[in-house]
Amino acid sequence: MKEAFVDKTGTVAIRDAEVPVPQPGQVLIRVVVSGTNPKDWKMPRWRADAPPFHQGDDIAGYVESVGEGVVGFRKGDKVAAFHEMMSPHGSYGEYAIAWEHTTFHLTSKTSFEEAATIPLAAMTAALGLFQRLSLPLPWNPTSEPLPLVIYGGATAVGAFAIKFATLSNIHPLIVVAGKGASFVEDLIDRSKGDTIIDYREGDEAVRAKIKTAAGSKPIHHAYDAVSEHGSYLNLSAALTAPATITTVFRTKDGDEIPDGIKIARTMVGSVHMDPAPGKTIEDREFGAAFFPFIGRGLAQGWFSGHPYEVRPGGLNGLEGALRDLEAGKASAVKYVVRIAETDGVSQ
């Protein structure tokens, strides 16, 4: 089979490899469409001393076979899945490996292209909202006003955070966005006090407008789906202590965060980790419960994926997609590739 590997310069090499065999608890998926993520070009830079690695994590395709103990899936099932980051055989290949608890069923209503936008970004959004910020879950929505700031509303993570927060009846949503504001407008509910703030107006304006948007309500929760260029510093200056900001990247050493403001990083890879001894609620169990919830939402029409753009050439078009991600060209869109379009692949 063909697999793609990304090196520290962003160069993509396509190699031949053996079809992997699923281990106990794993699912082997014939990949139809793979999604891309900013981490796919960032991770090789962060680990510059490491050899080129397979970076794809958003899988959409058909179950080919299952490992011992897997009971929820069988050959031929249409599925989407989150591949375990930094493990072999991800979505940038003809076949990928995923764990049963990070795989969910798809119906004919959902295209593979839409499904490939979901696993990593949607689970990152859900973990941040419900595990790090401890906000009300969609099946137990709040009945009281609960201000929430989402920084980077046009990103895939930010958009999914808006969707999940809305399912939980969390309002007002104070969403920071830029050129993707028109996309965000279709996700929020102005009648419930939701609003959009343009980060291009400058840091001081963003901080002031966040406070104004909440009215007389204190703001104790923020989701920073950008976590760069001082975004979490703007949030920390606008929130009311005690408050928690969840970020998708590490904050920088030396940044001065006001007393009473907690930074809690959301690491989506934690859904693969076994629970710590003595703990009954952990990210792994959350993922096992929430991925099927996403599948139900897709089937029933109350949840949807992110807007996408198909990059031509399959894995041969991957390098261009990653370079465009690095250049910041993707706004309110996810790049996806169809594996069958790869040179030498016949599906």
pLDDT digit string (tens) for 175-218?
Answer: 999 999 999 999 999 999 999 999 999 999 999 999 999 988 99
Host H or E run for residue 35: strand 26-35
d(CA 39, CA 90): 14
Burial (CB count within 10 angstroms: exposed 0-12, middle 13-18, buried 19+), residue 142: middle
Which residues pair with residue 207 across a beta bridge? none
Confidence bin at 345 (pLDDT 50/70/90): confident
CATH placement of domain 2-118+305-341: 3.90.180.10
Q: Give the DSSP letter of residue 82.
A: E
CATH 2.40.30.130, applies to 122-271? no
pLDDT beyond 60 at 269:
yes
d(CA 82, CA 10): 22
As a whole number, mean pLDDT of residues 261-290 equals 86
pLDDT beyond 80 at 255:
no
Confidence bin at 52 (pLDDT 50/70/90): confident
Domain limits of the chain?
A: 2-118+305-341, 122-271
Among 65, 54, 138, smallest CA distance to 100 is for 65
12 and 319 Cβ atoms separated by less than 8 Å = yes
Q: Which two tokens stand for residue 107?
A: 């119906």
More confident residue, 296 or 253: 296
Q: Which two tokens stand for residue 25?
A: 């608890």
